[in-house]
Amino acid sequence: MKKLLFTLFALTLFQFGAQAQVSLENPRGEVRLNFLNTIFIGSVEVGYEQFLSDDQSIGAEIHLNDRFGYRRGGDGRDFNATSFLLSYNFYFAGNDTGKIHVSPFFKYRFGEYREAVDNSIAVTSLNGGHIGLITGYKWNYNNFAFGPFVALSRTFSQEVADQFSAVEIKAGFNVGYRF
Query: Where does 27-178 sit in CATH, by number?
Result: 2.40.160.20
49 burial class (0-12, 13-18, 19+ CB within 10 angstroms)? buried
Domain ranges for the chain, please list them.
Answer: 27-178
- Distance (Å, whole) CA 67 – CA 73: 9
- What global pTM score does this model have? 0.83
State residue 24's pLDDT score. 53
Identify residue 99 by its one-letter amino acid code.
K
State residue 16's pLDDT score. 45
pLDDT < 50 stretches in the chain: 1-9, 11-13, 16-23
- Distance (Å, whole) CA 60 – CA 65: 17
Q: What is the pLDDT of residues 143-161, one digit of tens each?
A: 999 999 999 999 999 999 9
Give me the DSSP letters along 117-166: ETTEEEEEE--EEEEEEEEEEEEEETTEEEEEEEEEEEE--HHHHHHS-S
Question: Are the C-beta atoms of 81 and 116 separated by less than 8 Å?
Answer: no
State residue 96's pLDDT score. 83
State residue 26's pLDDT score. 82
